[in-house]
Amino acid sequence: MSKKHGKRHRAATPAADDATPWQDGPRAASGIVTVVPGQAFDLGAVDSDADGGFEKEAAGAALKVERERISVLQERLYAERKRSLLVVFQAIDTGGKDGTIRNVFKGVNPQGCRVWSFKVPSSDELDQDFLWRYHAKVPGRGLIGVFNRSHYEDVLAVRVKELVPETVWRERYGLINDFERLLTLSGVTVLKFFLHISKDKQKERLESRLAEPDKAWKFDPADLTERKSWDAYQAAFADALARCSTPYAPWHVVPANRKWYRNLVVSRTVADTLEAMDPQFPEPKDGIAGLKVV
């Protein structure tokens, strides 16, 4: 507690708009599902169309409020420089990881934020243990780090494409839990989002990438091969969510068919998480009271 200021200061973030359908609490009505640690998880039971009772326009207005909350709290986290936030995104192809990152972190000071996209590992990366390349990108004190794909690919793509034997990937759930526990104990809050879309929505999005010239660059013919493994990916996602949702780093499943709702759910959860971390500005240096700038 600050001696000079008498009490700790809660960040003066803008209040969430009481007129939104979330007035009974953000998650109750939001459709976001936090996976219960230690229980089997049925991904099929989560409605990817959920909209929390929002209209698109109201969701857009509410998103701006959440962005402002994130921005105010990020400044404190950066100034405090004691802890960090790691936000992990996983989804099937076209699930909306890039769009979510663009929309949720728009108001954030770039100096305090690092975004990392993980692709097929290089041969140098494959020469190391599977967590090596991710560990190197964990945000340092004061920073927000965003993982666009993550260490979970090593129990998702790697499992579905059979890149290593089952005996190898099966061990990884426990290793991932240990890794995230190490991070948590080291001052990193780990926030994990799975963006959940339906198979029909993926078809629609792939078709629009093919049809619209300014989206064509995103179309990867390999996505069509991957789509054939839809069921295998859903099974791999469900397993990863169930086995790696822990009390210290739970998985949040976000209904993601509606982009505007997905953005709102993620931004609010990020803002709530930062608020719960309650970062504090450091004490001013001793002896500055009464100093004059000449």
Binding positions for Mg ion, rule: CB under 5 A: 93, 220
Give the DSSP per-residue string, 51-117.
-TT--HHHHHHHHHHHHHHHHHHHHHHHHH-S-EEEEEEEESTTSSHHHHHHHHSTTS-GGGEEEEE
Please, what is the minimum distance in Å from the beta carbon of residue 223 to Mg ion? 6
In the bound state with ligand AMP, the residue whose beta carbon lies nearer, of 7 and 119, is 119
In the bound state with Mg ion, the residue whose beta carbon lies nearer, of 207 and 220, is 220
Q: Does 118 bind ligand AMP (CB under 6 A)?
A: yes
In the set 15, 45, 120, 294, which binds ligand AMP (CB under 6 A)? 120
How would you classify residue 27: left for phi > 0, otherwise alpha for psi between -120 and 50, otherwise beta?
alpha
* Alpha-carbon 126 to chain mean position: 25
Q: Does 206 bind ligand AMP (CB under 6 A)?
A: no
In the bound state with ligand AMP, the residue whose beta carbon lies nearer, of 72 and 157, is 157
The number of residues that bind ligand AMP (CB under 6 A) is: 10
- Residue pair 178/135 in contact (Cβ under 8 Å)? The answer is no
Q: Does 121 bind ligand AMP (CB under 6 A)?
A: yes
In the bound state with ligand AMP, the residue whose beta carbon lies nearer, of 72 and 163, is 163
Please, what is the minimum distance in Å from the beta carbon of residue 73 to Mg ion? 31
Task: Name the residue type at position 294.
Answer: V
Please, what is the minimum distance in Å from the beta carbon of residue 93 to Mg ion? 5
Taking residues 9 to 48 in sequence order and writing x for each that binds ligand AMP by CB under 6 A, - otherwise, the string is ----------------------------------------
Please, what is the minimum distance in Å from the beta carbon of residue 174 to ligand AMP? 18
Answer with the entry of Mg ion, ligand AMP, none that 119 interacts with (C-beta below 5 to 8 A by kind): ligand AMP
Q: Which two tokens stand for residue 287?
A: 């002896």
Element housing 195 (H / E)? strand 188-196
Please, what is the minimum distance in Å from the beta carbon of residue 161 to Mg ion? 14
In the bound state with ligand AMP, the residue whose beta carbon lies nearer, of 65 and 146, is 146
Please, what is the minimum distance in Å from the beta carbon of residue 109 to ligand AMP? 25
C-alpha angle 153/158/159, rounded to 5°?
110
Closest CA to 83 of 73, 93, 92: 73
Answer with the entry of Mg ion, ligand AMP, none that 77 interacts with (C-beta below 5 to 8 A by kind): none
Q: How far apart are CA 266 and CA 276, in angstroms?
A: 15
Taking residues 130 to 159 in sequence order and writing x for each that binds ligand AMP by CB under 6 A, - otherwise, the string is -------------------x---xx--xx-
Please identify which residue in the block is written with the tokens 């936090």: 34
Answer with the entry of ligand AMP, Mg ion, none that 158 interacts with (C-beta below 5 to 8 A by kind): ligand AMP
Please, what is the minimum distance in Å from the beta carbon of residue 231 to Mg ion? 19
Q: Please, which residues have CB within 8 angstroms of residue 121's CB and are 6 or more apart in sequence?
A: 133
Q: Which residues bind ligand AMP (CB under 6 A)?
A: 118-121, 149, 153-154, 157-158, 163
